[in-house]
Structure 1
């Protein structure tokens, strides 16, 4: 694959001179861990789906990464080849990325919720040569699904099955060699700090997902600043229950612990009671997730009456945090609640400071991390004063290298300002508040719903004449999706019919609207554009 990360070279000199780009890859950080703390705990992977616990020290993790790299090489994987994976949080995902970086290959993590429709596009667009999936996860047959897509994926050479038992299993193809592998025996292909190392797809707000390309420099420039602001170090224990196929889990649950030399504890299915037990047993000091994670954890700790004294910080991102939740969680967990905002293209952009007043976490999304600049501008790109809402632009050392095969969508000007597509305002102290999204996305429990794609599929339903999907607030998930539908004359559609139709289209279940409202007409401008703000107002008026 020819990765043309056009946004990297123009800012290299300035990023290095400013001390934001460190020219180190995850191979360098892992080597530090093996040299300085070889027998210290590196990874504890807890699978609630399979009922297993796997533990590795740093030396064991490095040896396994070498072994898997040799296995990938045997499958024909080398520099700049794409390895996709649809894996839950666990040791397979961490080791697979470390192995890919040994070869200079690019890892493409994919959310386990994706089904045929999403995967068919992403795997073909990435031209992946190997895809790694579980045999089953949460009762769904992932391996069977991907095997069924092979006819439409000419670049795909191998489907590797994690925890499988046949000849295509992860264990047989990638870890089945008896002799240990020395790094000197591996093919020479380790990436440089400006080579693309990760390809991650954003939700499709323009009709199809976009593959954001990242390098070691773009990722670690953010991770270093993130950890420094939170005061994290090698003695911390990081719990990651947010999906590692998201940038959140990947950067701060997979990469950050290696950079710090800290112990990572991974949980594959969110269960707040098990998370609380893990925090106590493993001495977890830091975790992060979207608002529902914080709500659930605070609830089970309060109900059980058993504290989590080791937990110092919970970082909450993905949706605004209600003030009452911050107060309740702080009192119940005894941890500092930090709010943050970011994107796949940048990682975390803003974050409150641990010593900020509690109200900051519920009223703002934080202030920029080191190496990050933000502007709120009007339609003519003129800066707006504090308190006024406008378009949010970001210029960051962690800005991505561009979209794979879609440079015309990079939304970055000649001065390096990236148009996020979001609306925001700044307060007098420079703290950000996301006020809405100019791109049409609903964030449900931290997961972006590609509204345009869902609407397009519903328009194909024989009973649908018009459809518009909008968000409505939810106390636990932040937002849920409601479909406003105008039925065709003489036709009818109900909630069950809508859900069944979208499931037939192989859409991820989390993307399916959870409310249906039928109307004879939808509010529109004189030009015929549906006025979604009026639909939101109508919905709020009905639901209170």
Structure 2
């Protein structure tokens, strides 16, 4: 079942000098996540490790034992070191056991979002050269099995014991399989600028560094109860639901998907002390009556990011709960560039993305020209939190400057005190609820409908999500199309729900620039005008 080992030589890597320096500073370590699970099982075996929406819970002893049993099952079905194992599964305690098991048998997790459509899943499977797909029963029906052309196993959770639906006998694990902290352990997807998502390559050490910053900034301890509500395969979800709970030995409460009332219920029921959510989710919590109906006083810290927070509701939420809101700035690719701390004054915490992290060596660029001294430009960084880049070196020149600095897709300002504020974006993305949605992906999907001749996706202002997806179209001949029909078509062909348009505007002819391209600036102005005329209705 081998995919040729861990050959990631085409991805940018850290130099030996950088690696040695990061280790000497304590930013990187030789302790892996699997090591940390074993240590937790030894030192506080009966502490709850994970509890989820299914009502089950696992102690660290049970987590450790279940991860080993799953790893032995994987070896028994032929998984070898370096295989890439795709995981398409709803968030639960079981998925974290599975991630640890894949690490223990020396394989690489290919994380796929639970809400991904079949087209996106197929593209990720091809791009990552996955050899096996593991899913839950919801996502592994007969049609799915036939469509992807590779073995598919179901992960089930019976009485708190995650198991694979396979009859093969388990095989013992050997030390040769062990992954190191600098080895690739995860490949996940990010929004691409051309049609389909790209795959980002991760080592454990980059997230170990991020974990340390979270612990230091939020004064986290093993006694904290962490409630992350971001999907696990993505960057924010990885450190909040997997890396930090495991390294810290804390308890994590896992929800299948975000819902404001259910989140408030979970905070109250489990006495959660740390909430991790994107800014839109926090805005939705602040606006929901449930935040006043449940006792949220156990909250101590809220980690958030993804977009700017509305200041007054955020300040009111702190007053209501007694929690301190901490923002950070980064991406799946770059990791953390700036962050706020418990010692920052409220205006800094709620109105900026925090102070630049010194060891991330952030610079500002205009193209490939360094404009750091001007205090405004496109942020780029080099440091211990960065990924290895895109799999197979895809879009290397877009992600990196000529001299090797990894870019963000934003325009930002850095003030004299080192605090960063995002002022705009360079890429054609729609930032919906903290998630970058590629306009090109939306357009590519919409173009599969036979009635659509030309499609252009733009951001539509929204008071809750910040932005939503608006699709402008020219139709073929005299055909007709409405939004429900388009959505029904897109779901039928396997398009991810995140890419579904939320408003459809049909024009006889889309505005064009002098070069013949669709004039998206005109469309953005048009949707703002339509929203204002309709009093903000989408």
Contact 1:238 1:286 in 2 (8 A): yes
Contact 1:24 1:216 in 2 (8 A): no
- SS of 1:173's partner is coil
Match of 1:62 in 2: 64
CA drift at 1:123: 1.2
- SS of 1:298's partner is helix
How many angstroms apart in 1 are the aligned matches of 2:291 and 2:118? Answer: 40
Match of 1:147 in 2: 145
CA drift at 1:407: 5.0
* Equivalent residue for 2:88, pick from 74, 86, 108: 86
Q: Does 1:481 align with 2:486?
A: no
- SS of 1:170's partner is strand
Q: How does 1:21-60 map to 2 (within 5 A)?
A: 21-46=28-53, 52-60=54-62
Contact 1:86 1:109 in 2 (8 A): yes
How many angstroms apart in 2 are the aligned matches of 1:283 and 1:496? Answer: 41
CA drift at 1:172: 4.0
Deviations 1:227-261 (A, max 9, x none): 21111111111012221122212221111111111
Q: How does 1:97-116 map to 2 (within 5 A)?
A: 97-116=99-118
Deviations 1:356-412 (A, max 9, x none): 232234422222335322222223412144563x22212221111132223552633
- SS of 1:465's partner is strand
Q: Does 1:445 align with 2:459?
A: no
More divergent stretch after superposition (367-376 vs 464-473): 367-376
Mind listing any 5+ residue stretches in structure 1 that lack a counterpart?
47-51
Mind listing any 5+ residue stretches in structure 2 that lack a counterpart?
533-538
How many angstroms apart in 1 are the aligned matches of 2:419 and 2:126? Answer: 40
Match of 2:78 in 1: 76
Q: How does 1:60-209 map to 2 (within 5 A)?
A: 60-136=62-138, 141-151=139-149, 156-163=150-157, 170-173=163-166, 186=174, 188-209=176-197
Match of 1:429 in 2: 417
Match of 2:458 in 1: 470
How many correspondences in the alignment? 522
Match of 2:357 in 1: 369
Q: How does 1:379-390 map to 2 (within 5 A)?
A: 379-385=367-373, 388=376, 390=377
- SS of 1:279's partner is helix
* Equivalent residue for 1:392, pick from 351, 373, 379: 379
How many angstroms apart in 1 are the aligned matches of 2:65 and 2:340? Answer: 38
Match of 2:536 in 1: none
Deviations 1:47-105 (A, max 9, x none): xxxxx311111111111111111011001112111111111221221111111111211
Q: How does 1:135-284 map to 2 (within 5 A)?
A: 135-136=137-138, 141-151=139-149, 156-163=150-157, 170-173=163-166, 186=174, 188-284=176-272
Deviations 1:163-187 (A, max 9, x none): 599xxx934439997xxx9xx7546
Q: Does 1:14 align with 2:18?
A: no
Match of 1:49 in 2: none
How many angstroms apart in 1 are the aligned matches of 2:65 and 2:125? Answer: 29
Q: How does 1:260-339 map to 2 (within 5 A)?
A: 260-300=248-288, 304-339=292-327
Contact 2:87 2:133 in 1 (8 A): yes
Contact 2:49 2:60 in 1 (8 A): yes
* Equivalent residue for 2:500, pick from 503, 506, 512: 512
CA drift at 1:135: 0.7
Contact 2:361 2:383 in 1 (8 A): yes
Residues 295, 173 of structure 1: alpha-carbon distance in 2 compared, 3 angstrom cutoff:
same
How many angstroms apart in 1 are the aligned matches of 2:182 and 2:434? Answer: 29
Match of 2:7 in 1: 3
Contact 1:225 1:370 in 2 (8 A): no
Deviations 1:512-541 (A, max 9, x none): 111112233333331123332232122212
- Deviating above 4 A after TM superposition, structure 1's stretches of 4 or more consecutive aligned residues are 174-177, 184-187, 300-304, 384-387
Match of 1:409 in 2: 396
How many angstroms apart in 1 are the aligned matches of 2:400 and 2:103? Answer: 28
Residues 517, 158 of structure 1: alpha-carbon distance in 2 compared, 3 angstrom cutoff:
closer
More divergent stretch after superposition (247-256 vs 481-490): 481-490
How many angstroms apart in 1 are the aligned matches of 2:305 and 2:280? Answer: 10
Residues 92, 302 of structure 1: alpha-carbon distance in 2 compared, 3 angstrom cutoff:
closer
- SS of 2:200's partner is strand
Deviations 1:422-477 (A, max 9, x none): 22222232222223322221122233322112212333444333321111221222
The alignment's TM-score, normalised by the length of structure 1, stands at 0.89
- SS of 2:176's partner is coil
